[in-house]
């Protein structure tokens, strides 16, 4: 993994994970009209990173459905300097 701020400056640095968290919305798979089971997990998973040069940023993701690949897109990374 590369620090986005360092990469924009053309330099590299070590990156560590500061924290990981996820929302805990209850959900269940659903079956479509063809009888196929979809797993559309609405939870958001957040990971905060920090590089050795002091930049910090947050990435948010959602797990895609293994069957159709659908996942709500989230913008990121969200940067804090």
Would you give the DSSP letter of residue 44? -
**Per-residue pLDDT tens over the stretch 40-53:** 888 999 999 999 99
Q: What is the mean pLDDT of residues 71-79?
A: 49
**Per-residue pLDDT tens over the stretch 22-34:** 999 898 998 999 9
Strands 56-61 and 45-51: antiparallel
Q: Which of 25, 17, 23 is nearest to 57 (CA)?
A: 17
pLDDT at 68: 87
pLDDT greater than 80 at residue 8: yes
Q: State the CB neighbour count (10 A cutoff) for residue 51.
A: 21
pLDDT at 77: 46
């Amino acid at each position: 993994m590369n620090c986005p701020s360092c990469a924009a400056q053309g330099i590299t640095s070590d990156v560590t994970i500061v924290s990981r968290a996820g929302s805990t919305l209850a959900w269940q798979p659903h079956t479509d009209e063809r009888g196929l089971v979809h797993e559309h997990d609405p939870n958001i998973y957040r990971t905060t990173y920090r590089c050795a040069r002091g930049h910090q940023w947050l990435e948010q993701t959602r797990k895609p459905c293994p069957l159709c690949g659908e996942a709500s897109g989230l913008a990121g990374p969200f940067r804090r300097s």
